[in-house]
A and B are shown apart, each in its own frame.
Chain A
Amino acid sequence: MSAALVERPPAVGPVLRGRVAARRAVIRWGWRLLRREWRQQLLILALVVVAVAATVVGATVATNSPAPAGAGFGTAQDRVDLPGGDPRLSTVVSNVEQRFGRADVIENETLPIPGSVDTFELRAQDPHGAFGGSMLSLVRGRYPSGAHQTALSSALASSFGAGVGSTVHEGGRNLTVTGIVEDPQSLLDKFALVAPGQVPAPTTVTVLFDAGGRSTAGLGAKVLPRSQAIPSNAFNPETISLAGLTIGMILIALVAVGGFTVLAQRRLRSLGMLASLGATDRQVGLVVRANGLAVGVVGSLVGAVAGILLWLAYRPRLESSSHHRIAPFALPWLVVALAVVLAVVAAYVAARRPARAVTRIPVVAALSGRPPAPRAVRRSAVPGIVVLVAAFLVLGWSGSQAGQGNGNSGAPQLVIGLVLLIPGVVLLSPFLLSAAARLGRSAPLTVRLALRDLARYRARAGSALSAISIGVLIAVIIAIVAAARYGNVLDYAGPNLASDQLVLHSDVQNGPPGTVAAPAQIASESHAATALGGALGARHVVELDSVDVGVDHSGGGRTFNGQIYAATPQLLAAFGIPASAVHADADILTSRPGFSGVSGLALEWCKVPMTAGKGTPGPGGGVVFDSTCPSSGRLAHPVVQELGALPTGVSAPNFVITEHAIRTLGLRTSPTDWLVETTSPITASQVRTAQQAAAAAGMSAESKNDAPSSAEVENWATVFGIALALAILAMSVGLIRSETARDLRTLTATGAGAFSRRALTAATAGALGFLGALLGTVAGYVGVVGWIRSNALEGGIAPLGHVPVPDLLFVLVGMPLVAVLAGFLLGGREPKAMAHQPIE
């Protein structure tokens, strides 16, 4: 026999080509292994797929949920709004056309729907206009073209009971319905489209045009550029999605480290074989790294496709709930691309550590399939503590910047500080595992063994503990901050109203400081509020009299926030508070918990009535007076009585001045708002009707908003943290136990039964859960204390007195207990027989 001889690659020359050939061979094998053993990598693949898909769907929903930026502009960059009949209109249109070329004129006339308090817009607009075309979409039929034709929005057609081909009577004329239309940017828009020039008395006229960045001065009216209409916010949905994605990928990378390590050990003999054939360390490591890369690429691509498909399936529901049309592929592509890239990077980085580790194993040991016993390394807590201290100091810097109130939010320092918490946790995790093993020296056998295994196999256990801790850290920070923020009774925060409440605000509140409603206006608004309450079937409509008084707080921190009303007998009766329940000396009644304990309070008011001066006409028939106060009064340490019966909503009368105080201090009151309380929750349709009726009366209606309560924020954060930690635990415990499978087999061989195996898994899960909860909570408090201690706006660490005890108990006790229980229930499987297994 003779060996086949091949020509070797030249020593000098195409060395690079040789390297590429070698890499290609190794990667090909890695890819084949991935295809053969994809089930073993399902966990990491699933993680990557879910993370990328969730990011794609989440970011797309978040960016498309708000009304489209620049709604009302169509494709125009500039617009001018004029009242109907404004003599400047023709000049403005002529100027725009002369200077910028084209202009689209849209005329709107607000008209009542016959037999309803509801209104609609009679709109004259060219459906093929240069800029307004995108604000119209034909659902069916055709656009109106003649003088007696109209196309209705679906909602209006329903109100009229009309369809294509029927006739509606409007403004003394009969209009034939030629089609059903919609405004894709606002599906709630109720309007009847007519041909340009067919609105006899427009209420408003909009001129759309594109100045192309050139000056619009001298057009004859105020121009609103699109850029000014779009709110700029550094924390937009894309940024938030990317921040969430980054943290998610860090967690995935930490979990994946364990997965790839176990995978590398499963392939240890193959990798040893490769080394025995002459593969360099780099080439052996490349197999593991290529595997990580392949998992990242496959997972991220599948995740991106799954996310896009999920989005396409969900899009119609989002259109319906957000009331505007959304293009099928209106995805935040930058976020999608970054999600794919970050997923690949996370998987690759996660595979690097096991790749390095596997090259350190001697070839003979690798060939025998026996990884060397982990070295007893004593981990120091110092590096982790140093990084946490650095995070504490940087967050303190951020807090001091944010607390100055000079517009500097300290956001960069905040981000750096929060990011520093992560390596702090990662560095402390191995130490904590070692410490737990030392502490558990006298624990029962299974617990002792579990703790020792966690400490011995720190590569997996350490990264799993870090991932759990980071999940808990996020949840704990949210819970602590929410408890601190919502616990501030001065700068009161939370939901504005209950679902059965509605507040009607007088238009005078929209005027400049010093605006006072005229008596006739108050009577008119009161009448409208009563009528609306009747239409809604209200239990009662309570007039809310604003008191001309302010609350001063000298104790530092946040200042008082909220509307101050008078505790009129009507208001107290509406909430079932008898006059006898009010202390005779009480100045303030409030439902804000703990307000009576706030020190350094004072009431301040102006002794001279504003109405003593000469006023000028204000909005809604009100009068504007000079609001400068020549002589003010002050009552230090007012008597505060907490009354739980008062409503707690931010916009509800949660802080009222007693009649006794009003009388003795000579305070002035005036009706500004009306609280409507109904017998059942107010529906969205009722809210819309109320808003239109309020607008018709020169008022505005405020209903329950989506702001969450303190408990909601804390509970959701806790649930998120616990779910995340348990998910990581579920993924990690199996990996960690698989590494000690040999010990488990030995235990079984020496007579350990299912109970021992269950106890071992339960102890592993419980220990990881508890240590993760502990480390995450401590790191969370380090971060929050660091930020808040130097924040003058928050008044130091005092707000941290509001500890979310139930949530912390759930995290520190509940989560480990669930982990123990789940580990015990799922950990009784008999280990596979140990046998010498060849590579094939």
Chain B
Amino acid sequence: MSFLELRHVTKVYGDGSSEVRALDDVSLGVDRGGLVAVMGPSGSGKSTLLTIAGSLEEPSGGEVVIDGHSLSEMSHNDKARLRRRTIGYVFQDFNLLPGLTAAENVSLPLELDGTGARRARTAALEALERLGLVERAGHFPDQLSGGERQRVAIARAVVGERRLLLADEPSGALDSANSEAVMRMILAACKTGVAAMVVTHDAQLAAWADRVVFLRDGTVVDQTVPPPSAEALISSGPKP
């Protein structure tokens, strides 16, 4: 069973003549350790798909299931707890909180979840160290470069026991070298068992994914077939 499952998800904005169908009967899943890239033209519903998957927005229809739990059955606070503990979100424009240092930005989800400041900081420093940013831990966002900010944002998205990483154009504001580095980090997270879904315009970056889903006008128009897993290959080996 997939870690993230979207079942016949529909999202409609407005009503009557002003109705806009952003997503129409979209179904897809992301397995543990899997990386799915979502591509499509502007207005195709990519970001809406991500926000619905991340419990930031309610679908008009269908169901979102994360780790076997349906979001529709969760309260507002349950969803907030899910975002603190399970879902990591990476935005195109980083969205680091001004006034907090890089380390404080990374430790924020843990502290919000009740972890003591000292332990949260230790965890944040470890996450930053893995991303090669520990020496910039005390710097404020406006003292970091674009690439550094996005690395901090990724550190914040993966710190703790996050098992679902959602990234909305994570390399949109970066040059090609930094973009590739970001994708490398997301892939590294996936190798630890994190399920990831990345929205991108860049076909080269999408190529890093296990599977690419194409959206147009809110519907899935195409998707690459995921490569068979080793287990599947073994089980489907030469028949006697």
B56 engages A269 (CB within 8 Å):
no
Is residue A24 contacting chain B, with contact meaning CB distance below 8 A?
yes
A280 CB-CB contact with B under 8 Å: yes
What separation, in Å, do the CA atoms of A192 and B44 have in the docked complex? Answer: 99
Return chain A residues, CB-CB under 8 Å to B3: none
CB–CB B108/A277 < 8 A: yes
Q: Is the CB of A1 within 8 A of B83?
A: no
Q: Which chain A residues lie closer than 8 Å to B130 at the CB level?
A: 1-2, 4
A278 and B83 form a contact (CB under 8 A): yes
- Assembled-state Cα–Cα distance A278/B113 (Å): 8
A1 touches B84 (CB 8 A): no
* Inter-chain contact B116/A21, CB cutoff 8 Å: yes
Which of B35-43, B63-71, B91-99, B207-215 interfaces with chain A? B91-99
- Interface size bucket, A side? 35 or more
Place the interface of chain B in its size category: 35 or more
Contact of B81 among A278, A281, A839 (CB under 8 A): A278
Write out the residue numbers on chain A whose beta carbons fall within 8 Å of the beta carbon of B85. 8, 278
Q: Are B94 and A838 in contact (CB under 8 A)?
A: yes
On chain B, the residues within 8 Å of A278 by CB distance are: 80-85, 87, 109, 112-113
The one of A9, A270, A367, A839 in contact with B114, judged by C-beta atoms closer than 8 angstroms, is: A9
Pairwise interchain contact A25-B123, C-beta atoms closer than 8 A: no
B74 within 8 A of A: no
* Contact of A840 with B98 in the complex, beta carbons under 8 Å: yes
Contact A22 B111, beta carbon cutoff 8 Å: yes
Given contacts A274-B97, A364-B57, contact A1 B191 (CB under 8 A): yes
Taking the nearest CB of chain A, how far is it from the CB of B86, in angstroms? Answer: 9
Given contacts A277-B109, A840-B142, contact A21 B114 (CB under 8 A): yes
Q: Flag the segment in A29-37, A221-229, A742-750, A790-798 that touches B.
A: A29-37
Return chain B residues, CB-CB under 8 Å to A280: 76-77, 80
Assuming the contacts A277-B84, A278-B83, asked whether A8 and B117 have C-beta atoms less than 8 A apart, the reply is no
Residue of B nearest to A24 (CB): B117
Q: Do A1 and B131 contact each other (CB < 8 Å), given the known contacts A363-B56, A839-B96?
A: yes
Structural contact, B98 and A270, CB atoms closer than 8 A: yes
Chain A hits for B159, CB < 8 A: 3-4, 6
Q: Which of A19, A367, A840 contacts B96 (CB 8 A)?
A: A840
Q: Are A3 and B83 in contact (CB under 8 A)?
A: no
Among B51, B97, B115, B159, find the residue whose CB has the most chain A CB atoms closer than 10 A. B97
Query: What B residues does A298 contact at CB under 8 A?
Result: none
Once the chains bind, are B112 and A367 in contact (CB under 8 Å)? no
Contact pattern, A 26-49, Cβ under 8 Å of B = 1, otherwise 0 = 101100110110000000000000
Minimum Cβ distance to chain B for residue A426 (Å): 30
Q: Is the CB of B185 within 8 A of A1?
A: yes
| A residues near B97, Cβ cutoff 8 Å | 29, 270, 273-274, 839
Give the docked Cα–Cα distance between A29 and B161 (Å): 23
Is B117's CB under 8 angstroms from A277's CB?
Answer: no
Q: Does A362 contact B (CB under 8 A)?
A: yes
| Bound-state Cα–Cα, A367 to B51, Å | 11
A362 pairs with B57, CB closer than 8 A: yes
B119→A25 contact, CB < 8 A: no
The one of A4, A22, A276 in contact with B89, judged by C-beta atoms closer than 8 angstroms, is A276
Question: Is there contact, CB below 8 Å, between A33 and B95?
Answer: no
Note all chain A residues with C-beta closer than 8 A to B156.
Answer: 277
CA distance A269 to B94 in the complex (A): 12
Is A3 a contact of B98 with CB atoms below 8 Å?
no
With the chains together, A648 CA to B41 CA distance in Å? 88
Q: Are A32 and B99 in contact (CB under 8 A)?
A: yes
From B76, B98, B122, A36 is in contact (CB under 8 Å) with B98
Report how far A270 CA is from B100 CA in the complex, Å.
11
> Is B218 among interface residues, defined by CB-CB distance under 8 A?
no
Specify which chain A residues have a CB less than 8 angstroms from the CB of B98 in the assembled complex. Answer: 33, 36, 270, 839-840
Select one of A8, A19, A25 contacting B161, CB under 8 A: A8
Find out whether the CB atom of B192 lies under 8 angstroms from the CB atom of A840: no
Task: Say if the beta carbon of A387 comes within 8 Å of chain B.
Answer: no
B189 within 8 A of A: yes
Complex partner residue of B123 from A4, A21, A22, CB under 8 angstroms:
A4
- B133 sits at the interface (CB 8 A): no
In the bound complex, CA of A29 to CA of B112 (Å): 12
B94 touching A19, Cβ below 8 Å? no
Asked if A3 and B127 make an inter-chain contact with CB atoms under 8 angstroms apart, the answer reads yes
- List 19 A-B pairs, Cβ < 8 Å: A1-B158, A1-B192, A2-B192, A4-B130, A5-B123, A6-B123, A8-B113, A22-B113, A25-B112, A28-B104, A32-B99, A274-B112, A276-B54, A276-B95, A277-B156, A278-B109, A363-B51, A363-B57, A367-B95
Other contacts beyond A8-B160, A29-B97: 7, CB < 8 A? A1-B130, A1-B192, A6-B120, A29-B104, A36-B98, A274-B108, A840-B149
> Which A residues have a C-beta under 8 Å from some C-beta of B?
1-9, 15, 17-19, 21-22, 24-26, 28-29, 32-33, 35-36, 269-270, 273-281, 283, 362-364, 367, 838-840
Which 8 pairs of residues, A with B, have the shortest CB-CB distance? A18-B114, A1-B188, A278-B84, A32-B99, A25-B111, A278-B83, A4-B126, A838-B93
